[in-house]
Structures are given as C-alpha cells and as structure tokens.
Amino acid sequence: MYSQLLGVAGGVALVAAVLALWRRSLLAIVRILALQGFAIATVALLLGIHHHEVAELIVAAGVLVLKVGVIPAVLTRVVRDTPNQRDTEPSINTATALVAAAVLTVIAFGATRGLVDLAPSPETELIPVGFAIVLVAFFGLVARRNALTQLVGFLLLENGIALVALVATARVSLVVELGAALDLLLAVLVLQVLTSRMRSKFGALDLDRLTELSD
Amino acid sequence: MNPGRIAAVLIQIVFVVGAAPLLAGLIRRVRARLEGRVGPPIVQPWRDLRKLWRKERIAPEHTSWVFITAPLVLVASSVVIAMIVPLVTVASPLDRVGDLFAVVSLLLLGTVFLALAGLDPGTAFGGMGASREMTVAALAEPTLLLAVTALAARAGSTNLAAIVTAALDRPSVVLSAQSVLALVALGIVTLAECARLPVDNPSTHLELTMIHEAMVLEYAGPDLALVELAASMRLLLFGALLANLFAPWGIATGTGVVEMLAGALVLGGKLVLLGAFLGVFEVFVAKLRLFRVPELLAVSFVVALVAVTASAFLGVGR
C-alpha cells in the first residue's frame, strides 16, 4: 500500500505541474500550487510513517503548513488585491507550451533512468517525477511574463526540488529542511512586497514594463 | 463457443442497452436536485425514446443513404463494443477481438458516420457540428489510445480483458503514478467523446457552442431515438471502462450465471457512483469557450503521454 500511495502522490504532483501550465486564471493556478504542495506533504508523511522517523513527520507537518496553508493564502491575497488582473496572457501559445512540457518530461525520465537503476525502490521511482516537475516548472517560469505566475513557477520548481530531496536522501536533516523552508517563505514575502510595489507604481504585474531605470 | 459465453454476451448487451438511458436520467436528476429543481424521473429518457419511436419516420429532402444508415451504424457499433469489452465479466466469448485498437476504431466509425450524417442534409448547423466533432475526435482518439496503452504496459497486452485481469491478479498495480496520469487523461477524453460539460453542453441548443446537438438537429422520430440511445450507450461504455480499468474489483471472472449477475450489480453500483459524481461535477463547471477546447484536449494528450513515458521508464508493476 505504501509504494502505491507514494506513486499516486507523485502522479498528482506531476499532473499539477502540467495543469499549472494550462490554466490562465491566477486563482486557479494558486489552487493548483496548493494541490501540489499537498501531494509533496503526503510524500513526506508516507516516508515518515514508513521509516518510523519523527523528524520526517515534523518535515511533513511543516511542508503542509507552508505549502498548502501560508504561501497559497499570501498569493491569493495578492490576486484578490489586484484589480483587472484575474487572468494571465502566456507569451507562448498554450498548446506549444504543453507539447514542450511533454518533451521535457520524456527528457527528465530518460535522463534520470540511471539514477533509478542504481537502487530501484518505490522512493527512487519518484526521482524522475521530481525532475520532470523541475523542468516543466522552469519552462512555465520563462513562458509567462507576469510577476505572480513567475513566483508560482518558482514555487513549483522548489516543490520539484523538495520532492527529489525527500525521496533521494536516506534521511532528511531537519535543520536543512527547516532552513530551506524559511528561505522559501522569506522569498515569497519579499516577492509579495515587490508585486505590491509594482502594482502601486504601474497598476499591473506585467514584467515587460520593467525595462527602464528610474531614480 | 459454450452457452455460458453466449449468455455473457447477451447479459452485457441487455445491461448496456437497458441501463444507458437510466444513467443519462440519473445524471440529469442529480444535476436538477443540486440546482434546486425536482427534475424529471430517472426513467424519463426511456419514456422519451418510446415517444420518439412511435412517431413517423421522416428524413429531409435530398438526403442520401448516409443520413438513414448513420443512426443504425452508431447503435450497431456501440452494441459491438458492448459485446467485446469486459463489462460484467472478463470472460467474454469475443475477448480475442476485444482489443484496444478494435474498440477505438469502432468508436471512431460511429463518430465519422454521425459527422457525415451532419453534413448530409446540407444545413449550416450540421456542417458546423460535424467540423467541431472532427476537431474534438482527432484530438481525443489518440489520447484514448495513449492513456490505455499506459495501462496496457503492466499487462503486456492491449487486450482490454487482459488488462483488467492483470489488475485483478495483482491489485498492487492499480494504484501508481501512471494510473493517476492515465485516469486524468481518460476522464477528460470521456467528457469530450460523450459531449459533456465542459466540452459540450448536452442540455442546450446554443449555436455558438453546440457540437453533438448541431449534428443531430435534422433527425426526428425513430432515427432521433436511435441517435439518443447510442449517445447514452457511449457514455455508459466509457463510464464502465473507466470503472473497470481503474477499479476492477467485483467483475466476474467466469461465466457462471450467478457470478455474472453479481458482476452486473457491482458494475451498476459503480456506474451510479460515477453518474452521481458527473452530475455534481457538471453543476460546478462552466462550458469552455470553443477555441479553448483543443487546449483542454492537449492537456489530456500530454498527461497521457507522460503516463506512457512513466510506464515505459519505471518498473512495470512491482
């Protein structure tokens, strides 16, 4: 049951990465981010239960609070405070972006095959999934020119890295995890301040407006 | 061919034809209840079919044999699919031909005939509907093939009965990353192929967005009854395939009469759950704008492709 639930959580996380590339509504994208955070937290929880490791359970709780609770709440506030910015216009046509995502996933699975073959187990089979999320999220990051979607792309990327870190290491150091989580929270808060500054200056979150220097 | 297997075919056909309008009625009923209406009784689609069947048979002027044969081909292809896919039992007599590719081509045969019948009377709406239907089918059919291929990898066969049997033998393969991806892709394809929300709205005749209704606009009387019956049979077949591929428990493995009746009951239960879920789902989603439908189908195609990739690279079952 353990390995199947692990697989399901990985599958949900990967589907979320693809869906984030498809949706245009900012609120929907934030919800997808929360769904992916939930899948990652589930992976951490399953690992903690399986290895009887209290530290991993604490990591799971932390991931849940941070990635399902705090960060989506902060982002939702940013979206709600921004008038006329409910949708984002992708600079790459969605169908092309999806095909690119498919290619990137195949590359991720092909490239990490050797890693899985080193020690085939239910955990290591999630490594290619994590890499695929990293690549797809990075593509989403460059495909959209909106401060908020770039922030979400960055967070999806971080989710992929967190997934790989969870399943690839024998035992996650609690200190390292907490440090990474705090860094992430700090980054989100700084970027939230940046977006609100942008909004008050330009009335929009379009990054293409940041082309000129001013004093 | 022994009598048990013939009985299996008969039970599957009777089940599909009998229950299909009820499934459509159930979805409508659930939807109506959630919207605060009482809604028509669940048997209402059967009553509508009976009413239509008693009417005069009439075809528009200048239509060819295509218009007359299309409803028959549509119903016949659905009946053949009902015979060969594992619904009530995995021991169907025709399971040698119960292949994924056979099923998809039979589905496509019905779709193509309906699109031709939409073009045949030469009306504007029929042509529009046919063109839209082909756009959707061209994107949905490959996704269907890919998504089931991801499941076929674990059975080592594209035979649908073999896929379901493999899942029954090793329940551990049912839940996996590939399954989640394939389920999402197949779910979207089901909505597209059965003309449900958010791809098509079965309860309106809005010319800007209608797909299925535009093609069948010229049909009346018994022909319309056949088209409607075939449409609800398709929905039931897709639903039953989803249920049996992702939750195969309860399907009969032999051809004993009691066993098969129990299998039919379990399948009925799964379909009631699925129909209720679809009814609830349809209350909460809006119709997609037509030019965004290909994007939705592209999503399902990509997810199916990822499912195939995952099953190719990851261990095939553990």
Tens of pLDDT, residues B246-257: 888 888 887 778
- Who has greater pLDDT, A45 or A86? A45
* Mean pLDDT calculated for residue range B261-271: 90
- Residue B75 banded pLDDT, cuts 50, 70, 90: very high
Q: Is the pLDDT of residue B317 over 50?
A: no
Mean pLDDT of chain A: 82
**B127/B116 Cα distance (integer angstroms):** 9
Please tell me whether the overall predicted TM-score, pTM, comes out greater than 0.80 for this model.
Answer: yes
- Who has greater pLDDT, B184 or A179? B184
Q: Which of A199-213, B126-140, B151-165, B195-209 has the highest mean pLDDT?
A: B126-140
Residue B261 falls within a domain, yes or no? Answer: yes
**Angle, alpha carbons B315-B317-B318 (nearest 5°):** 85
**A125/B96 Cα distance (integer angstroms):** 34
For chain B, positions 266-305, list CB contacts with chain A under 8 A: 294-296, 298-299, 301-303, 305
Q: Is B146 on the interface with A (CB under 8 A)?
A: no
Residue A212 falls within a domain, yes or no? Answer: no
Residue with structure tokens 């929905």? B235
Residue B80 falls within a domain, yes or no? Answer: yes
- Which residues on chain A are in Cβ contact (under 8 Å) with B175? 4-5, 7-8
For chain B, positions 40-99, list CB contacts with chain A under 8 A: none
Q: Is B143 on the interface with A (CB under 8 A)?
A: no
Q: At residue B1, what is the residue type? A: M
Q: What are phi and psi of A25, to 5 degrees?
A: -70, 125
Written as one string, the DSSP assignment of A177-213 is HHHHHHHHHHHHHHHHHHHHHHHHHHSS-BGGGTTS-
* Mean pLDDT calculated for residue range A147-169: 84
- The domain tally of chain A equals 1
Residue A215 falls within a domain, yes or no? Answer: no
* Mean pLDDT calculated for residue range B58-68: 88
Residue A121 falls within a domain, yes or no? Answer: yes
Q: Mind telling me how many Å the CA of B171 is from chain A's nearest CA? A: 10
Residue B318 falls within a domain, yes or no? Answer: no
- Note whether B119 and B167 are within 8 A (CB): no
Q: Which domain holds residue B155?
A: 3-313
Helical H runs in B85-159? Answer: 100-119, 124-155
- The domain tally of chain B equals 1
Residues 6+ apart with CB under 8 A from B117: B66, B67, B70, B71, B126, B215, B216, B219
- Note whether B85 and B160 are within 8 A (CB): yes
> Which residue in chain B is spatially nearest to A116 when comparing CA positions?
B314
- Note whether A25 and A87 are within 8 A (CB): yes
Answer whether the bond into residue B198 is a cis peptide, omega within 30°.
yes
Q: Which domain holds residue A78?
A: 2-207
- Residue B318 banded pLDDT, cuts 50, 70, 90: very low
**B192/B195 Cα distance (integer angstroms):** 5
Q: Is the pLDDT of residue A194 over 70?
A: yes
Q: Which of A48-52, A57-61, B96-100, B234-238 has the highest mean pLDDT?
A: B234-238
- Residue A172 banded pLDDT, cuts 50, 70, 90: low
pLDDT above 70 coverage of chain A, percent: 90
Q: Is the pLDDT of residue A209 over 70?
A: no
SS3 label, residue A90: strand
- Note whether A161 and A13 are within 8 A (CB): no
- Residue B295 banded pLDDT, cuts 50, 70, 90: confident
pLDDT at A162: 86
Residue B216 falls within a domain, yes or no? Answer: yes
